[in-house]
């Protein structure tokens, strides 16, 4: 099925985009959602960050756990991201700790199906 989609496959691409969006979102949100759901940062984050990452006290952990009322997703812009090797720990920052290379160009408009759907329904 490719009746009105000149640049791709409208039968499959929306599902592929949504699938990858969910995976990317889950990876990022886990860093912030885990403390709210479990009272602690994800094990993988603690292993990478070690002493850089503050620890929650038992009281803080108890206070955080289950402290959310709503979780939403805002999709405003696109960056292309790829893996990057671990940085020198002497020059570590929140920018390098993600171990990613992000495009410097910000894409506010894209030819992706999700952009077309959102634009059409706005």
**Phi–psi pair at 107, nearest 5 degrees:** -100, 105
Residues 8 and 110: beta-carbon distance below 8 Å: no
Per-residue pLDDT at 114: 59
Task: Report the pLDDT value the prediction gives residue 25, as an integer from 0 to 100.
Answer: 75
β-strand 100-102 against 81-83: which pairing, if any?
antiparallel
The ranges assigned to domains in the chain are: 13-67+75-120
- Distances in Å between the Cα of 69 and the Cα atoms of 30, 40, 60, 63 are 16, 18, 18, 14
Q: How far apart are CA 98 and CA 86, in angstroms?
A: 9
- The predicted structure's pLDDT at residue 121: 58
Q: Quick one: pLDDT at residue 61?
A: 93
Q: What is the DSSP letter of 101?
A: E
Report the chain (122 residues): mean pLDDT per 10 consecutive residues. 64 82 78 88 87 91 90 69 76 71 65 61 57
């Amino acid at each position: 099925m490719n009746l009105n989609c000149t640049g791709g496959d409208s039968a499959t691409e929306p599902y592929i985009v949504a699938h990858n969006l969910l995976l990317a979102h889950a990876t990022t949100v886990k860093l912030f959602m885990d403390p709210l759901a479990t009272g602690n940062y994800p094990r993988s984050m603690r292993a990478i960050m070690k002493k850089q990452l503050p620890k929650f006290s038992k009281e803080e952990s108890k206070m955080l756990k289950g402290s959310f009322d709503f979780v939403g997703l805002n999709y405003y812009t696109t960056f292309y991201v790829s893996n990057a090797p671990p940085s020198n720990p002497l020059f570590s920052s929140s920018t390098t700790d993600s171990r990613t290379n992000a495009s410097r160009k910000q894409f506010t408009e894209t030819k992706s199906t999700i952009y077309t759907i959102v634009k059409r329904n706005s």
